[in-house]
Amino acid sequence: MKNSAQTSNSKYQSIGVFDSGVGGLSVLAELRHLLPHEHFIYLADTAHLPYGARPGEEIRELTQRAVAELHARGVKGVVVACNTASAYSLEHLRARFDLPIIGLVPALKPAVAATKTGVVGVLATPGTLRGTLLQDVIHTFADPAGVRVLTAVSAELVPLVEAGQAGGERTREVLRETLNPLAEAGADQLVLGCTHYPFLAGSIRAEFGGTFALLDSGAAVARHTRNVLGGANLLTDRPEQGGVTYLVTGDVESARPVFAALGPDQTEPLRLTSTGG
């Protein structure tokens, strides 16, 4: 248990945000909107991207290594802004680290509440589909409501986003191939089950128009983070605007243009450094 002096000092520590790559920037944007005075350390494990096809034990090990890096930098909590890492690692991380660990849960609950057709689609990575978290959420929210949940998976979409091709022709081709079965089955809600996928919203709408309402977990995770840190008296009371330190485990120069395109405001300098993997 932290004493009051430790808690007071901890208010001014950073919040860690982790993803396998740039996808978690979509969650970071929601966090910064809701918690504008906090400082964040964003760590992208670009040296080991993508996580989706890796074995579960390897995903847990990589995630633990990343959270240990953030913990060593003195963060007061960690948001695991990666659906695949959350699906495999949350319980393990919470047992190992004595700080708040917030993970992602697919936004199935609001999708089930909103569907008019009774069919909900989930666009996920192979790793998220293999984990138990998605199935647990389906059993909790969709099954009791009699809503049919259809899953779609592609191993190509995350690398395409990481390559800065979220709006490219190959990306739109993959989206057509992947999502056509959901549209044909009558899905009217599409849960974006990876933090990279909000960056595909424009391409999805260009291909499918208003067929799907798109739902992701970013805003809900930001609210949960505020509630968890507030409940632990860990929210900063600094009046000035917070900032972000960006870290990657892979090559900085290859990551820089994608971070610049998807991450900070254009008025904010991009300070991107490597942890050395």
Catalytic site residue 276? Answer: no
Which of these is catalytic: 17, 75, 82, 222? 82
Catalytic site residue 255? Answer: no
Beta strands in the chain (DSSP E): 15-19, 40-44, 78-80, 101-102, 119-124, 148-153, 189-193, 213-215, 244-248, 272-274
- Binding residues for substrate, as ranges, are 19-20, 51-52, 83-84, 195-196
Tell me the pLDDT tens digit for each residue of 228-251: 999 999 999 999 999 999 999 999
Which of these is catalytic: 194, 234, 244, 272? 194
More confident residue, 85 or 132: 85
Tell me the pLDDT tens digit for each residue of 164-187: 999 999 999 999 999 999 999 999
Residues 41-54 have a mean pLDDT of 91
Domains of the chain: 4-104+219-274 (3.40.50.1860), 108-216 (3.40.50.1860)
How sure is the predictor about 45, in pLDDT bands with cuts at 50, 70 and 90?
Answer: very high
How sure is the predictor about 97, in pLDDT bands with cuts at 50, 70 and 90?
Answer: very high
Measured in whole angstroms, the distance separating CA 74 from the mean position of its chain's CA atoms is: 21
For the chain, the distance separating the N- and C-terminal CA atoms, rounded to the nearest angstrom, is 32
- C-alpha closest to that of 59 among 71, 49, 72: 49
Asked if pLDDT for residue 3 goes beyond 80, the answer is no
- Binding residues, as ranges, are 19-20, 51-52, 83-84, 195-196
Prediction pTM value: 0.90
DSSP string, 164-231: T-TTSHHHHHHHHHHHHHHHHTT--EEEEESTTGGGGHHHHHHHHTTS-EEE-SHHHHHHHHHHHHHH
